[in-house]
């Protein structure tokens, strides 16, 4: 397939009455229903002035309506920008200013946060078979540089400024096929869609991969252990999740007096977004009675660059061999490398992004002339050809499956008048990465952590907020004044919960 909407067209032609999507509103759409809803919404967008190469920003939480928005954009040759509705006003404004979308759509039927944004933006309700949405039209210009781009997924760079990752239709079709093949998806499968489709995992590996194979996606707007448990006990066959979700459903089942899941339908379980601890992996596999698969990927690679396909009980805690069509090599001369096989992970293949939107400087840093992507992650390849991730040179924190960029959290803390400077790091605990913040204040100041939590809550989405804020009159630093983040956990070990 050359374009993502052709995946949907193929399913409509082959299996028009097959169930494509269900969600927490009770919506149940066949592939024909999804096609009809997205076509109708495309007419609405065209009537609002959306043209080819325009950007359409979607503020959403998972639901069938959000998927209709995506396909409507692609049918118009417009570029979809999925953004989590839980973004704060200031976070959203940075993306709006950078992307200059022609329209903003909000999934108000499933998200109180989307509704709040709709009220603030003066959005009007749009009605049709595509469900509960609000839309605000804006002024923009088409951008020919986006002629082959399907989505812009915004991350935050080292400066705290947003970066729009340009993923093409070719990227997404390759990623959809790779995800489908990896999980051996068939039309009999039901995949649980709680990973947000505003992130690459939920968008490509779940929704687009399912469309490639004709799979049903059971969409959930927000995670709850009970909802996940009910789903896997009632027909879900494929469960992609992050460690925190696995840990919470295991706790929920224990509270019911059970030790194992014993799902009658579940056949494939994967964990992404964080390294696997061997003991935790064994515990999870015992609970599910299935192997726990892992992989490595990032927004800039559209889909997984490597993935495991291990039997139950395997001791392998790597992120697997490279996926078909992908090339991986290690630059052990890069910063953080040891010159002996450990260094920065470089990736090349049909799934690597086109670049960062309106940011040629950052694009040139990430992509070389031969198409190799510098991931910023440190790793090594073992004797079996399996990739092991050793650390993140970019200091990215993945909390609950969401990307958290320390400079953005630090910027929010530093806005407080009594904070001199701050440093944010991640710490793995109970299968998930915590966001820990260390704030330097002046001797004698009376600010307390609770006040700072309230302060940053107005500036950051919930998943970005620190789980703990440590106050100190000094932070470990080099003679140059540069903060030594790698010393923070040891320096303040006695204050960490």
- Residue 58: which of 204, 197, 200 has the closest Cα? 197
More confident residue, 414 or 299: 299
pLDDT tier for residue 151 given thresholds of 50, 70 and 90: very high
Q: Is CATH 3.40.50.12780 what the domain over 223-392 is classified as, yes or no?
A: yes
Question: Could you say which DSSP state residue 144 is in?
Answer: G
pLDDT digits (tens, 9 = 90+) for 280-293: 788 899 999 999 99
Question: What pTM does this model have?
Answer: 0.85
pLDDT digits (tens, 9 = 90+) for 268-325: 999 887 667 677 788 899 999 999 999 999 999 998 899 999 999 998 989 999 999 9
pLDDT digits (tens, 9 = 90+) for 167-195: 999 999 999 999 999 999 999 999 999 99
For residue 477, pLDDT beyond 80: no
Largest CA distance in the chain: 71
For residue 336, pLDDT beyond 80: no
Domain boundaries, the chain: 4-172, 223-392, 397-495
| Topology match between the domains 223-392 and 397-495 | no
pLDDT digits (tens, 9 = 90+) for 346-401: 999 999 999 999 999 999 999 999 999 999 888 899 999 999 987 666 677 888 88
More confident residue, 161 or 415: 415
Q: Which CATH number fits domain 4-172: 3.40.50.300, 3.30.70.140, 3.30.465.10, 3.40.50.980?
A: 3.40.50.980
User: Cβ contacts of residue 271 below 8 Å, gap of 6+?
Assistant: 241, 242, 243, 246, 284, 292, 293, 294
Q: Which H/E stretch holds residue 246?
A: helix 243-255
pLDDT attached to residue 481: 52
Alpha carbon 413 to its chain's center: 24
pLDDT attached to residue 394: 64
Q: Specify the CATH superfamily of domain 397-495.
A: ANL, C-terminal domain (3.30.300.30)
For residue 149, pLDDT beyond 90: yes
pLDDT tier for residue 408 given thresholds of 50, 70 and 90: confident
């Amino acid at each position: 397939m050359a374009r993502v909407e052709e995946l949907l067209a193929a399913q409509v032609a082959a299996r028009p009455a097959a169930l494509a999507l269900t969600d927490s509103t009770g919506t149940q759409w066949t592939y024909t229903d999804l096609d009809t809803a997205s076509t109708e919404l495309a007419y609405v967008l065209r009537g609002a002035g959306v043209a080819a190469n325009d950007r359409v920003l979607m503020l959403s939480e998972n639901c069938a309506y959000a998927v209709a928005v995506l396909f409507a954009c692609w049918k118009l040759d417009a570029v979809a920008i999925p953004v989590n509705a839980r973004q704060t006003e200031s976070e959203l404004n940075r993306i709006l200013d950078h992307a200059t979308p022609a329209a903003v759509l909000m999934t108000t039927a499933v998200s109180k946060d989307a509704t709040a944004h709709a009220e603030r933006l003066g959005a009007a309700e749009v009605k049709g078979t595509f469900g509960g949405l609000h839309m605000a039209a804006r002024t923009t210009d088409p951008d020919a540089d986006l002629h082959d781009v399907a989505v812009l997924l915004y991350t935050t760079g080292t400066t705290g400024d947003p970066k729009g990752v340009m993923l093409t239709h070719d990227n997404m079709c390759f990623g959809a096929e790779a995800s489908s093949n990896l999980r051996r998806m068939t039309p009999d499968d039901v995949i649980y869609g709680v990973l947000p489709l505003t992130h690459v995992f939920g968008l490509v590996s779940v929704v687009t991969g399912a469309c490639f194979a004709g799979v049903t996606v059971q969409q959930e707007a927000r995670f709850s252990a009970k909802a996940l448990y009910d789903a896997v006990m009632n027909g879900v066959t494929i469960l992609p999740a992050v460690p925190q979700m696995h840990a919470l459903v295991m706790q929920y089942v224990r509270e019911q007096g059970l030790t194992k899941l014993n799902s009658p339908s579940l056949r494939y379980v994967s964990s992404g977004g964080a390294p696997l601890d061997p003991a935790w992996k064994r515990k999870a596999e015992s609970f599910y009675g299935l192997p726990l698969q892992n992989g490595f990927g990032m927004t800039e690679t559209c889909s997984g660059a490597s993935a495991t396909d291990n039997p139950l009980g395997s001791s392998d805690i790597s992120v697997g061999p490279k996926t078909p069509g992908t090339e991986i090599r290690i630059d052990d001369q890069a910063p953080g490398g040891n010159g002996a096989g450990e260094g920065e992970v470089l990736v090349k293949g049909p799934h690597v992004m086109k670049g960062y939107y309106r940011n040629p400087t950052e694009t040139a840093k990430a992509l070389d002339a031969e198409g190799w992507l510098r991931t910023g992650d440190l790793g090594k390849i073992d004797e079996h050809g399996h990739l092991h991730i050793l650390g993140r040179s970019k200091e990215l924190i993945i909390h609950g499956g969401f990307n958290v960029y320390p400079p953005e959290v630090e910027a929010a803390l530093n806005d407080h008048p009594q904070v001199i400077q701050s440093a944010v790091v991640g710490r793995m605990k109970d299968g998930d990465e915590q966001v820990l913040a260390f704030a330097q204040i002046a001797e004698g100041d009376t600010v307390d952590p609770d006040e700072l939590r309230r302060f940053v809550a107005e500036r950051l989405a919930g998943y970005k907020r620190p789980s703990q804020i440590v106050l100190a009159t000094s932070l470990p630093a080099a003679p140059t004044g540069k903060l030594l983040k790698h010393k923070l956990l040891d320096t303040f070990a006695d204050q960490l919960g």
